[in-house]
Amino acid sequence: MGVPTGEIEARYLPLDRMLVERIIEWQVDHYRDAFPSFDHDDWIDFYGPHMRGQDGPLPVVLGAFDNGRCIGTVSLVERDDLDDVDDYTPWIAAMIVDPARRGAGVGTALLNAALGRCRDLHFGRVYLWTHDQTDWYRRLGWIEVESKVFRTTPITIFRLDLGPVSAQIAT
Ligand SMILES: CC(C)(COP(=O)(O)OP(=O)(O)OC[C@H]1O[C@@H](n2cnc3c(N)ncnc32)[C@H](O)[C@@H]1OP(=O)(O)O)[C@@H](O)C(=O)NCCC(=O)NCCS
């Protein structure tokens, strides 16, 4: 159980290389066993479009901040690594909470913030894949779409329906 969390603010991740390096340490550590190819350079590539500034609606990279300190992040991207899933877009990706702050609602807050961005962008459905957090996403209402093997590791693709797009466009 993490440290209880008070007011968590979710907002765009600043273009801050030191912060991204700290996040990459969490990511490399988390994926080391199942996806060793997700190494430092791979994550630099992942966060590159965000760090260079974006010229389209995606990617969206959000951070969760507690008193100004980043304690987690999540991204919304058009495509996410997998082959043969061209019909699936967009994806929630790279969800991670500071290891010292897990189990205190930060991940749920980040996920909700990302879903809010999906609605803002008028996406009616969103996808993600996971190799180790199926129970967490199931509990949060995500629906399993298919199971695959990605780089020798079994994964599950989930989707979440966000409701009719026309209802979200109304001003
Ligand atoms: C998965 C992760 C993002 C969850 O974030 P978190 O801040 O720890 O999660 P929350 O505290 O918001 O979880 C809310 C609830 O889910 C429960 N929960 C947390 N992890 C869970 C899991 N793996 N399976 C089932 N339930 C889980 C919590 O106990 C909590 O339950 P409660 O509301 O009844 O108290 C975080 O553990 C993490 O960063 N893990 C490593 C990276 C990772 O796996 N990312 C996902 C890649 S797809």
- Give the residue from 167, 80, 165, 169 showing the smallest Cα distance to 127: 80
Q: Which atom of ligand 1 is nearest to the CA of 106?
A: 7
Question: In whole angstroms, what is the distance from residue 105 CA to residue 121 CA?
Answer: 25
- Give the residue from 31, 22, 114, 103 showing the smallest Cα distance to 69: 22
How does residue 168 score in pLDDT terms, banded at 50, 70 and 90? very low
Going by C-beta distance under 8 Å and a sequence separation of 6 or more, which residues neighbour residue 96? 23, 26, 27, 30, 72, 73, 74
pLDDT digits (tens, 9 = 90+) for 28-45: 999 999 999 999 999 999
Q: Give the strand order in the sheet containing 9-12.
A: 9-12, 60-66, 69-77, 91-97, 125-130, 153-161, 143-150
What is the pLDDT, as a whole number, of residue 165? 61
Q: Which residues lie with the beta carbon below 6 Å from any ligand 1 atom? A: 30, 95-97, 102-108, 130, 132-133, 135-136, 139
Following DSSP, what letter does each residue of 31-59 receive, concatenated?
HTTT-TTS-HHHHHHHHHHHHT--SSS--
Which residue has a Cα nearest atom 36 of ligand 1?
A: 97
Distance 102 CA to ligand 1 centre (A): 7
Q: Candidates 133, 134, 142: which one to mutate for ligand 1, based on the most atoms within 8 Å of Cβ?
A: 133
Question: In whole angstroms, what is the distance from residue 81 CA to residue 91 CA?
Answer: 10
Assessment of whether the complete model's pTM goes beyond 0.85: yes
Average pLDDT across the chain, whole number:
92
Tell which CATH architecture fits domain 9-169.
3-Layer(aba) Sandwich (3.40)
Sign of CA dihedral 78, 82, 87, 93: negative
Which residue has a Cα nearest atom 30 of ligand 1?
A: 103
Q: Is 89 helix (H, G, I), strand (E, B) or coil?
A: coil
Which residue has a Cα nearest atom 25 of ligand 1?
A: 136
Asked if the model's pLDDT at residue 169 lies above 80, the reply is no
Distance 103 CA to ligand 1 centre (A): 6
Asked if the model's pLDDT at residue 166 lies above 60, the reply is no
24 with 44: CB under 8 angstroms?
A: yes
Locate the domains of the chain by residue range: 9-169
Q: Which residue has the tokens 């997998």?
A: 82
